[in-house]
Amino acid sequence: MEDFRLRVFVAAARTLSFTRAAAQLCISQPAVSKHIRELESRYKVPLFTRRGSRLELTEAGTTLLAAAERLAEGYRRLEYDMSLCTSRVEGELRLGASTTVAQYLLPPLLARFTMRFPGVRVSMLSDNSDRVEHALLRGTIDLGVVESVSRRQGLHYSLFRPDELVLVARPGGAYARVESVSPEALCRLPLVLRENGSGTLEAITSGLAAHGIRLSQLNVVMRLGTTEGIKAFVRHSDAMAIVSVVSVIDELRNGVLRIVDFEGMALTRDFSFVHAAAEPARLVGQFIDFARVGD
């Protein structure tokens, strides 16, 4: 049986915050601290350390996180495989996904899902995170997959997978020799970003704010409604862009775009499942399990 203390540790390790871990698991912060202390006592090593006001994983904590995530994946696969022994999966599944998720993550997953469960009819709405959440509230979709940082009242969110936002440029452009940029230098670079309502833009805004940078301080030369449009703009200009790393895998592999590192700064966010009911419908739950197992 899965050790709840490991679930608490994973939540704390991913958020680097006992407060956020407590909120995520619907338990108290003292309970989080208690579970972490029990694990540290059991393994006789510290799992977290504080650097100023920041919480960081120790080497032992990093090792435990990797092991705990492997165990959690094993339990999810066990539960999922056993559930398939009891009933047939069929019906209609109406999905809504933010643009990045719909373009780069869901197509191969949906291909595997529909091959595995031919009795399920799937449709998918692709729009920005804000509109996907509105579609859920109107009842026009059953499940959303969004990239926004904020949480809308009345909806329920759970982790799909983590993501990283990276700064990209064309190899032969004005910044071909730039390997990294400081937060201050970033404000001077010509940037092309997503439109208002985009989960990617919200994640960028939130991540930069944590380093004292406001969106209004950036030199934004263009706003575009799709990541594909942004990538094409960057390939034909000296502008740079901040995009999900999953959206530029092919371009990086083919050498038409390159990553420029952030100095002392990481922009991360989570792709999340979102549904209207606290307990999602059975078919919705089946799809979430399938996506997390990565079958």
Give the separation between CA 142 and CA 132, rounded to whole angstroms: 10
**What does 276-287 look like in DSSP terms, one character per residue?**
SSSS--HHHHHH
Report pLDDT digits (tens) over 169-210. 999 888 888 999 998 899 999 999 988 878 788 889 988 988
- What average pLDDT does this structure show over 206-234? 92
Beta-sheet strands, E only, within 101-185? 120-127, 143-146, 156-169, 180-181
Determine contact, residues 105/246, Cβ cutoff 8 Å. yes
Angle at the Cα of 249 from the Cα atoms of 73 and 186, rounded to 5 degrees: 105
Looking at the DSSP bridge assignments, the partners of residue 123 are 94
Determine contact, residues 243/177, Cβ cutoff 8 Å. no
- What average pLDDT does this structure show over 88-95? 83
79 vs 264, which has greater pLDDT?
A: 264
Residue 279 banded pLDDT, cuts 50, 70, 90: confident
What pLDDT is stored for residue 2 in this prediction?
Answer: 63
Give the separation between CA 167 and CA 62, rounded to whole angstroms: 26
| Lowest-confidence pick of 68-72, 88-92, 275-279 | 88-92
Report pLDDT digits (tens) over 23-82. 878 888 899 999 999 999 999 999 999 887 788 999 999 999 989 888 877 776 676 566
pTM for this one?
Answer: 0.64
3-state helix, strand and coil shares in percent for the chain, rounded to the nearest 5:
45, 25, 30
Instruction: Decide if pLDDT at 142 tops 50.
Output: yes
What pLDDT is stored for residue 49 in this prediction?
Answer: 92
What pLDDT is stored for residue 147 in this prediction?
Answer: 82
